[in-house]
Amino acid sequence: MYEMCTGPDEPGTTFVWHVKAKNGTVALCGVPLEPSPTEPVETDRHCPSCMTSFGRLVDQRG
């Protein structure tokens, strides 16, 4: 299972939606994610690396 989680993007300049394993602490793109963000973050951006990785995972499952 995978879930969406907000976190800093690669340069760390803004927040984006990452994809991570249900019990994981690291996004598919390798960015470490806080288990429980201290502040709620609102963003419309998605991490392109996570989207690509997630797409591949879905394809592998058929």
Which residue ranges make up the site for Zn ion (CB under 5 A)? 18, 27, 29, 47, 50
Strand (E) positions, 1-62?
2-8, 15-21
Which lies closer to Zn ion via its Cβ, residue 36 or residue 62? 36
Shortest spacing between CB 30 and Zn ion, in angstroms: 8
The sign of the dihedral angle between the CA atoms of 26, 29, 31, 34 is negative
Which lies closer to Zn ion via its Cβ, residue 6 or residue 18? 18
Which lies closer to Zn ion via its Cβ, residue 36 or residue 53? 53
